[in-house]
A = this chain, B = another copy of it.
């Protein structure tokens, strides 16, 4: 058996039963090897660099430094290691913050064992494993609201405003007069029932018009 080619997996999880359960599962699968298991980030910080894992399974609700806070620190210690979040929570905020902080995947703990093992392989091959429901939430975050009250031009102009451009600059880039841009903005404000740039951007983003 080529132990050198095994995928080295580390687990950071405070619940001993779960931690040992995953370790047993992964350690007994051909092609995988447990590089280390830790009950907290503080615990992991001391040894994880020497243990040199290829993939880390990270719980978000850790005692002390949380998994999300630990993410950028782990990435700094091990820049080439892929980190998969493994948690019971499916909250949008948690998911997006995790992915924003450098997670390569996001699985819920009810994921079947064989899928977890597959996910570990997937990240090493450049994939981004996600539980079905998580994937749907991530996709939904891209979705525009198809029933916008704004016309195409209005939407276009509001998008430009959201990039911080001045009305004059928008006018120049769209090859229309400044007065036209002002007219559109007046209509946008009226439709969204707002009276400022910031409120219009917020209203539009909340409703996914832009």
Interface residues of A (CB under 8 A from B): 72, 75-76, 96, 99-105, 122, 125-130, 132-133, 135-140, 142-144, 146, 161-166, 169, 196-198, 200-202
Contact = CB atoms under 8 A, between A and B. Distances in A.
Contact of A132 (B100, B126, B133, B201): B126
B128 A122 contact: no
A198 B168 CA distance: 12
A139 B76 contact: no
Give the number of times this chain occurs in the complex, counting copies.
Answer: 2
B99 A143 contact: yes
Contacts of A72: 146
Given A132-B126, A135-B130, A164-B161, A142 B201 contact: no
A75 B146 CA distance: 9
Contacts of A99: 139, 142-143
Given A164-B197, A164-B198, 16 more contacts: A75-B146, A76-B146, A99-B143, A100-B142, A126-B132, A127-B132, A128-B130, A128-B132, A128-B135, A130-B130, A130-B135, A135-B135, A164-B164, A164-B196, A164-B200, A164-B201
Nearest to A135: B128
Contacts of A101: 144
Contacts of A196: 164
- In order of increasing CB-CB distance, the 8 nearest A-B pairs are A127-B132, A128-B135, A128-B136, A164-B198, A99-B142, A164-B197, A128-B139, A164-B201
Contacts of A130: 128, 130, 135, 139
A129 B122 contact: no
Contacts of A133: 126-127
B127 A163 contact: no
